Amino acid sequence: MSDSAFTARPASDGFNQQPSQAIGSSELIGEDPAIQVQHLGFRWYKGETVLDDCCLEVPRGEFWMLLGSNGSGKSTLLKLMANLLQPQSGSIHISPHTGFVFQNPDHQLVMPTAGADVAFGLVAEKLTPSQVRCRVEEALDAVNLLPLLRRPIYALSGGQKQRVAIAGAIARHCDVLLLDEPTALLDPDSQLDLVAQVQRLIKSRGLTALWVTHRLDELDYCDGAFLLEKGTVVDRGDPQRLKQRLMQMSI
Ligand SMILES: Nc1ncnc2c1ncn2[C@@H]1O[C@H](COP(=O)(O)OP(=O)(O)OP(=O)(O)O)[C@@H](O)[C@H]1O
Ligand SMILES: [Mg+2]
């Protein structure tokens, strides 16, 4: 499995209300966004503040990217969204069916084959063997890996491993994907194959994704982007405008 793709937020209403500030409807940017982060604050124990009044919203059915320099808080923000960390202030509203894809697939694929790894993520659902087989095949097919169902994980390329991780989330019927630099270890061709495939999946299945990257050419595939600086979102919106801005800043 893929803790690449675990169910991140068990709360039934999908609302992770931390010591939170009141949210007025006038503050809501979009209608029913799939991801809503309000006034989030986080610091490590005895550490410096990592996130400071961080706010963002990802519209349902869209593919957004999160950029920012090293140490700006991108991975911490995703871990908070995935309920792996708890904020000191603010709130996060996200689907209870959220999948997480880590930068290094070797940290998340734990079973010997592609099919077994995707199936392992379904254990908690108590499905029948034929339901599991059906879910696994459908999910691997969605990422064009069905022919590799029995392929050992060690014999997959880096991009194929990332697609197995994504298949794990699809098999569990996740509707939100959080991806933390999933292309960081891939060569340029595999990188663009993966981002294009994720874009197609999101559009064909009505999913929502937030994808962390440092690679500006990936901005050509998304609907919008956020720029994080010292734990605060300082810019958001049109990916091509942000691309121009970042090309000048060389993050
Ligand atoms: N487990 C931890 N304990 C204490 N501090 C941490 C821990 N993990 C990260 N940090 C610190 O939190 C800050 C934000 O780190 P984070 O990993 O979120 O940055 P990032 O934007 O993802 O960076 P990168 O682009 O290098 O991946 C950094 O100053 C980092 O040193
Ligand atoms: Mg990071």
Residue 14 pLDDT:
37
Output phi, psi for 109, to 5 deg.
-90, 120
* Local confidence band at 47 (pLDDT 50, 70, 90 cut-offs): confident
Coil vs helix vs strand at 96: coil
Question: How many CB atoms neighbour CB 148 within 10 A?
Answer: 18
Measured in angstroms, how far is the CA atom of residue 20 from the centroid of ligand 2?
25
Kind of pairing between the strands at 89-94 and 232-237: unpaired
> Is 24 a residue whose pLDDT tops 80?
no
pTM for this entry: 0.88
> Given the structure tokens 């990257």, which residue do they identify?
213
Measured in angstroms, how far is the CA atom of residue 180 from the centroid of ligand 2?
7
- Give the tens place of pLDDT for each residue, 158-215: 999 999 999 999 999 999 999 999 999 899 989 999 999 999 999 999 999 999 999 9
Distance separating alpha carbons of residues 1 and 100, to the nearest angstrom: 11
Residue nearest ligand 1's atom 26 by CA: 70
Measured in angstroms, how far is the CA atom of residue 251 from the centroid of ligand 1?
16
Average pLDDT over residues 81-96: 96
Average pLDDT, rounded, for the chain: 88
**Which ligand has its closest atom nearest to the C-alpha of 70?**
1
Average pLDDT over residues 36-62: 95
Closest ligand 1 atom, CA of 79? 18
- Give the tens place of pLDDT for each residue, 116-148: 999 999 999 999 999 999 999 999 999 999 999
Q: What is 27-76 written as a DSSP string?
A: G--SSS-SEEEEEEEEE-TTS-EEEEEEEEEE-TT-EEEEEE-TTSSHHH
> Is 101 a residue whose pLDDT tops 90?
yes
Residue nearest ligand 1's atom 25 by CA: 70
Query: Percent of the chain at pLDDT above 90?
Result: 81
Residue nearest ligand 1's atom 13 by CA: 71
Residues with CB under 6 A from ligand 1: 44, 47, 50, 68, 70-76
Return the CA Rg of the chain. Answer: 18
More confident: 5 or 247: 247
Distance separating alpha carbons of residues 64 and 67, to the nearest angstrom: 10
